[in-house]
Structure formats: structure tokens, C-alpha cells
Amino acid sequence: MTRRNTKQAGDRSAAPAAGILAGIRVLDLTRNIAGPYCAMILGDLGADVIKVERPGSGDDCREWRPPSWHGYSTTFVNFNRNKRSLAADLDSADGQEIVRRLARRADVVVESFRTGSLAKRGLDYAQVRADNPRVIYCSITGFGSTGPLRNRPGYDPIVQAYSGIMSTTGEPGRAPARTGPSIVDNGAGMWCALAVLASLYARERTGEGSRIETSLLETGVAWMGYHLLGYLGTGRVPGPVGSKAVMIAPYEGFKTREGYLQLAAGNDQIFRRLCDVLEVRELQSDARFRTNADRVANRDALHELLEARFVARTAREWEDILLEHDVPCSCVRTLDQVAADPQVEALDMLPAVPYPPIPDLRLVNQAFQINGQRASRLEPPPELGQHTDEVLAECGYTAEEIAGLRREHVVG
């Protein structure tokens, strides 16, 4: 069920090229979002990804619904394309041996077990590396592998709270808010994919594998970088900022006659053009607003003056007018509008993928292109254990041995 991909932007007829990671084997021992996202990125780039799941239930994410699409969790569908699924019981000696065989053949192992869990199963970095010195072994934990919280479980909203993200998200005076997307999970997966690619490059020069570690906490703290430096530099603890950027003004949302408009006047020239369009040229020479630092210091007064103008038209009308004058802005769009957006379509960000269980399936494409190509292939997510026999045969198991493993409920 492979979909032909775009060779260059707008060219829907070009055939897909082999991914840059073709020939790389990835063993995916992760669940939920962060680890599966890392492995999916590698699969999008052409790697052969084998996802190991619990027999009977699989990745917890399979049951994260609603929303569902023809009975399938949309969260699972989003993070698990371009993979093969092997169902094996890692609590059994035979299941552990299966994974050891896979790890011996793997270029990359990605795991998201609690610290110490895989060591008990003979599958931690030291034991895997002893059999495969070239392996790139990547671990994702909630709070890191060292320190007093190394055994604490972590999920995206927990770490958004712990890392301070929620303290700056939402509107002043309202309850702390989690970001809509799982930015901590997604970010941890991206860091791991980046580190894996760097390690594969290093291995070409050294012949040695690598040990990669990251956590949801490290990701959350990294996302708070300029907020943390602002606190360290000034001693002031930032609070909720809503749609604002604390260091630039006007750089925020405005209420219009209909809908909200997000504005980004990132320099003095843009501010002057904005004043021209809104016919408030006197603000350009107002001592409160001459420089960005002045405008940040007097943000509330400036916001009130500008919003008094914005309520005269709709957000869509202002978007058209401001863009004609090179003032960056956007209406706040809803996802039904994004799904039907012509620019999103032009970028092939929501391609249709043949998949009989979900006849109208569309997937969110990769957010980057290499030589005009996004994902090297787009195969729908696997059914639980769909490739168990196939993968075991590749590892040297005979048909009789596979049947025996099934009888003992080691694989499913």
C-alpha cells in the first residue's frame, strides 16, 4: 500500500526516490507518541522500522480514542506509518530472545521503557552493544536516566506542567493551559531522530555506534529557552502571555468585527507600514511607541489603540489589506479551514493514502523536503502483529518454531 510521492513541489506525476535511509534497520521498542514519532521520521526517510508490541493489546496509543477513524485511533494512525508490527511478549524468555536477535541485526534501537526495565530483560544498551558494537541505541524517558526523578513516569501534559510551559500558556488571570499539540512528545521524538541521523553520519567515519539519551523534561526545558534566559537575566518570572511574544510589540492577536487576527510587527519598518494602513500615523512619532522597546513597555496602551481600528472590519478583510502592504498577519483558522486550505494542498501536506480499512485516509506529510521529496513512502500503520511471521522468518526462525511460539503465546 505504497503511495507514489511528489518528486518536486506541485509535480504529482513524479515517481518516489529511495529514501536516504534505505537499508537502515530500526528496532522500535516504544509506545505512546515520542518514541513512535522518532521511529516514524526514520521510516519516512526510508528506514525499515520494526515496531515491537504487546500481543493482544499492542501500543497503548491504539486505544487512545475518540477521535477514531473507522474504528482506528487517529493518534495511533498519525504516529505509526511506514512500520512493520511484530507482537512479542517481552516478559518471556523466548520473547526477549526474539528482540535480542532483532537488535543484533539493527542499525538503530529506539526504546522508551522506564529506567532499568530493559536491563532486567537483558536488552539495555550495555547488553545490546556487546552483541552489536555498531548499534545506535536511543532511550527516551520521562525525567532522564539520572537524578532524583529518574524513575518518575512522564507524559506530555505532566512535563508541560513541570517544565513551566503551562505557566506561560493561556491568558492572564485564567487557569494554566496545555498547548493543543503534544509539543513535548513531538519535540523529544524530533531530538532523537536528529541525534540518530548525526550518529549514523559519525558511524560512517568511526565504525562505532552511539548511546543517545533524551527525556520529556529536557525537551520541555529546551522549549522554554528564551523565557528561562529572560528570568535569569532580569529576575522577573514570566506569566501567561496568551497570543503575545513578550519581547516584541505589536506581536499578538486582535479582536476584529468578526474573528481574531494574529499580527507580527517584528521590526520598526513593519510597524510604520501597519500605522499607515490603519491610518494612525501619529503613533509612529509617539514617544511611547518609537522603538520596539518602547512599544513592549507600553504594550497595553498600544493594543487598545490598534484594536479600536481593527474592530471596523473582519479578520479576513484585514488579512487581505495588510498582506497587500507587506504586514505579516493571519486570521486564526480552524482545522476544517486548514484541511481545505489551497496552500496546504499545494504543499501536499495531506495526501490520500490507499488503505481499505479507512477508504478516505489522508496522512499529515513530513514537514520538510529533501530534493523535492517529503516522505520517501507513505504506508498506512500496521495492524497489531501484522508482520510477525515475516519478521521472525527474516531472523532465522522456521515455520515450526514460529508455530510453537504462537502456541506458547510468546508472539501474536
The continuous run of DSSP H or E covering 53 comes out as strand 48-53
In tens, the pLDDT along 274-307 reads: 999 999 999 999 999 999 999 999 999 999 999 9
Question: Does residue 336 carry a catalytic annotation?
Answer: no
Is residue 269 predicted with pLDDT exceeding 80? yes
* pLDDT value for 37: 98
Would you give the DSSP letter of residue 409? Answer: T
Q: Which of the four pLDDT bands, split at 50, 70 and 90, describes residue 17?
A: low
The mean pLDDT of 74-96, rounded to a whole number, is 98
Distance CA(334)–CA(317), nearest Å, equals: 17
In tens, the pLDDT along 142-157 reads: 999 999 999 999 999 9
* pLDDT value for 194: 98
* pLDDT value for 146: 94
The mean pLDDT of 93-112, rounded to a whole number, is 98
In tens, the pLDDT along 347-378 reads: 999 999 999 999 999 999 999 999 999 998 99
* pLDDT value for 336: 98
Q: Which of the four pLDDT bands, split at 50, 70 and 90, describes residue 172?
A: very high
Is residue 8 predicted with pLDDT exceeding 80? no
Per DSSP bridges, beta strands 48-53 and 84-87 are parallel
Is residue 9 predicted with pLDDT exceeding 70? no
Q: Which of the four pLDDT bands, split at 50, 70 and 90, describes residue 1?
A: very low
Q: Which of 185, 268, 336, 348 is catalytic?
A: 185
In tens, the pLDDT along 179-237 reads: 999 999 999 999 999 999 999 999 999 999 999 999 999 999 999 999 999 999 999 99
pTM of the predicted protein model: 0.92
Residue in this structure with the C-alpha cell 534505505, named with its chain if needed: 22
Q: Most distant CA pair in the chain: distance in Å?
A: 85
* pLDDT value for 297: 97
> For residues 187, 189, 194 and 195, what is the CA-based torsion angle, rounded to 10 degrees?
110
Distance CA(62)–CA(60), nearest Å, equals: 5
Distance CA(247)–CA(242), nearest Å, equals: 13
Is residue 332 predicted with pLDDT exceeding 90? yes
